[in-house]
Amino acid sequence: MNLRRFLVLAALPAAVVAVAGCGGTTLQIQTAAATKTAASPSPGASSRCDATPWTGAISPQGRPDSLDAGDAGAVYVWHDEDGWHIRTTDERPVDHHYTGTIRVLPATESFADIRPVRNERDDRVFVDANNVLHYDFHTFASIDGADFRVTCGDRRPNVRERLAFHTEFDGHPISDRVRIGDSKQSPKSADFAFVRSV
């Protein structure tokens, strides 16, 4: 691309820019009002943050053993050295709708390196303008999910990052369809939280 074309494209408003790729795929860019852009941590900063374990009423540490497509229908949540992971699956090959939100506190922190996992056209993962991650998965007897990290820029004493989860299954708050960490225990409520260890 020559400089003149670059300058013309750079001058277009972000709401109307679409980049056409091979095979007719189009990348649509949303305006800043629609989604929040996370601050870019320094290279490797978010991965260094995830070397620190998180705690809660149930430990989120470690991938659930033998998690495969078609396992007991649930939202599986865990943390390891690669960050946070959410997966949904179900035993029956019918549509089950898993939705939820994850809020990070303090507000100075943000989500980073968000990656959808095996998602299809009707699955969504996004962070809104209030720094809340939303997931919306239509899961059959397969696996849908997302991976992400949480920044750790606020290093003041006694300040620990907190993730607050809310989970729903087919439009209703659930706790019995949530499995946490390698123990696969369910929380007592559809609302549960974890804090980063110091």
- Kindly state the average pLDDT of the residues 43-69: 79
Q: What are phi and psi of 160, to 5 degrees?
A: -125, 140
Q: How many helices (H) and strands (E) does the chain have?
A: 2, 14
- 103-157 residue pLDDT tens: 999 888 999 999 999 877 789 999 999 999 999 998 877 889 999 999 887 666 6
- Is 136 inside a domain boundary? yes
Distance CA 85, CA 80 (A): 8
Q: How far apart are CA 198 and CA 53, in angstroms?
A: 9
**Residue 46: which pLDDT band, with cuts at 50, 70 and 90?**
low
Task: Tell me the pairing of strands 18-20 and 144-150.
Answer: unpaired
Q: What is the pLDDT of residue 65?
A: 83
151's CB contacts (< 8 A; 6+ apart) are 38, 39, 41, 45, 46, 49, 109, 110, 111, 112
Given this model, what pLDDT does residue 94 score?
79
For residue 182, what are its two tokens?
């390698």
Asked if residue 86 is part of any domain, the answer here is: yes
In a domain, 13, yes or no: no
Decide if 5 is inside a domain: no
Kindly state whether residue 181 falls inside one of the protein's structural domains. Answer: yes
Is 7 within the bounds of a domain?
A: no
**pLDDT average, residue stretch 81-107:** 90
Residue 17 has pLDDT above 50, yes or no: no
At 48 the pLDDT is 62
CATH of the domain at 187: 2.60.40
Tally of domains within the chain: 1
Q: What is the greatest pairwise CA distance in the chain?
A: 59
Please report the pLDDT score of residue 154 as a whole number: 65
Residue 65: inside a domain: yes
Low-confidence winner among 49-53, 99-103, 154-158, 178-182 (lowest mean pLDDT): 154-158
Query: Residue 180 sits in which domain range?
Result: 45-196
**16 pLDDT exceeds 50?**
no
| Cα angle, residue 55 at apex, residues 52 and 61 outer, rounded to 5° | 70
Q: Judge whether 197 and 161 are in contact, CB under 8 Å.
A: no
Token code pair at residue 160 = 């620990």
**Residue 133 resides in a domain:** yes
Which of these, 19, 31, 45, 2, lies nearest to 154 by C-alpha position? 45
Query: Hey, which bits of 47-129 come out as E strands?
Result: 54-55, 74-80, 83-89, 96-105, 111-117, 124-127
The answer to whether the beta carbons of residues 165 and 173 sit under 8 Å apart is no
